[in-house]
Amino acid sequence: MTSRQLLIRDVLVLLAFAGWSLALPAYASEFVVSMALTCLMYVALSSSWGLFCGSTRYLSLATSAFFGIGAYSTALLLGDFGWVETILMGSAAAALVAVVMGAAVLHLRGTYFAVLTFGMTELIMHAVTYFEKSVTGTVGRVLTVVPERDTIYLTVLALAVLSVAVSIIVRRTRFGLALMGIGADEQRAQTLGVNTRLIKIAGFAITAAFAGAVGAAMAVRWTYIDPHTVFNPFIGFQTVLITLIGGVLTLWGPLLAAVIFSVLAESLRLQFPQIYLMSLGLLLIVCVLYLPGGLASLRWATFKGWWVDTRDWVRDIKRDLTGENAREKQRIKRREKETHFV
């Protein structure tokens, strides 16, 4: 397919996804809408995370920090500002923190960068906790102004669609090519004239802006928030897992994985939390061993190859159980001896 055909396909798939999600609340139950809201949240988080981290191969664990900043922005500002203004200010606050954080740590790579982003997330969480205890005398905020369910749903849907749309656009621009170049060989990208430091900070800020906006929108889902809830590292870890399992270098892999994870989360987390966590680990192991490109790399040839391998494995087991393999080895040894004597 040509680049134009791929663009048309991506736009049509995005429009179909947006239309289906838009119509869902009209006929679905409250449980299904809640599950869809969780799905849309992780679509926005994983798509924006993959845009920067997948392209540059920088493993960021700061998603929960930006999410929590957006959530606290809503708790502090929603009573004085409108809904849209609050979302935008939460997004801007997260992006500003990302610029400062990125300027400090984006010169590192690999494990060092991942550990430092996680450490800064914990630092922000404990700083907010200390501020709350020192200034307000308590920890946590009660949200007295809460929009309607449909407003929250449509906002998160808009953020999910926008994150995928931005990924579609950015991947076809010089900025997106620069991000890919940094991931392939950062020194070569610098040699070719790419301002890698500025590109990395800008990409990191885009990821943080989406995470902050999603956190600001999802904060009203809970009528009470506290640092340990909105800065929960599990939000960041699950975003990373969804992106890796879906396909970190693909456009639609994170969306597919977000749907699967949301169904598992809502179905198993409350009744069988251990099975839910085990299923996350099992999916990750399967993808690392058999699908390094993620779920998005699945093709008919993949299933055909699995079927052939499984069939051969079953056939070998049957031959072992019936002794056919042992007899075949004896026949081979007998032929080798006869050939040797001749």
Q: Domain boundary at 298, 318, 333, which?
A: 298
Residues 107 and 172 reside in one and the same domain: yes
CATH number of the CATH domain containing 281? 1.10.3470
Residues 285 and 307 reside in one and the same domain: no
Collapsing DSSP to helix, strand or coil, 225 comes out as strand
Cα(53)–Cα(239) distance, integer angstroms: 11
Cα(23)–Cα(4) distance, integer angstroms: 29
Residues 246 and 319 reside in one and the same domain: no
Higher pLDDT, 323 or 135: 135
pLDDT tens digits for range 28-81? 888 888 888 888 999 999 999 988 988 888 988 999 999 999 999 998 888 788
Rg (CA), the chain: 25
Residues 152 and 291 reside in one and the same domain: yes
Residues 15 and 26 reside in one and the same domain: yes
Rounded alpha-carbon distances, angstroms, from residue 81 to 78, 89, 225, 284: 5, 10, 19, 42
Residues 145 and 276 reside in one and the same domain: yes
Number of other residues whose CB lies within 10 A of the CB of residue 6: 14
Locate 142 and state its tokens: 């009660």
Residues 234 and 328 reside in one and the same domain: no
- How many domains are there within the chain? 2
Cα(339)–Cα(342) distance, integer angstroms: 5
Residue 246 has pLDDT above 70, yes or no: yes
Question: Structural domain of residue 335, as residue ranges?
Answer: 301-341
Residues 137 and 111 reside in one and the same domain: yes
Cα(313)–Cα(262) distance, integer angstroms: 34
pLDDT on residue 7: 79
pLDDT tens digits for range 24-35? 888 888 888 888
Residues 133 and 90 reside in one and the same domain: yes
Higher pLDDT, 333 or 154: 154
pLDDT on residue 339: 66
Collapsing DSSP to helix, strand or coil, 256 comes out as helix
Residues 197 and 305 reside in one and the same domain: no
pLDDT on residue 296: 63
Computed over every residue of the chain, the mean pLDDT equals: 83
Residues 277 and 315 reside in one and the same domain: no
Which of 9-13, 58-62, 319-323 is modeled with the greatest confidence? 58-62
| Total-model pTM | 0.83
Residues 201 and 235 reside in one and the same domain: yes
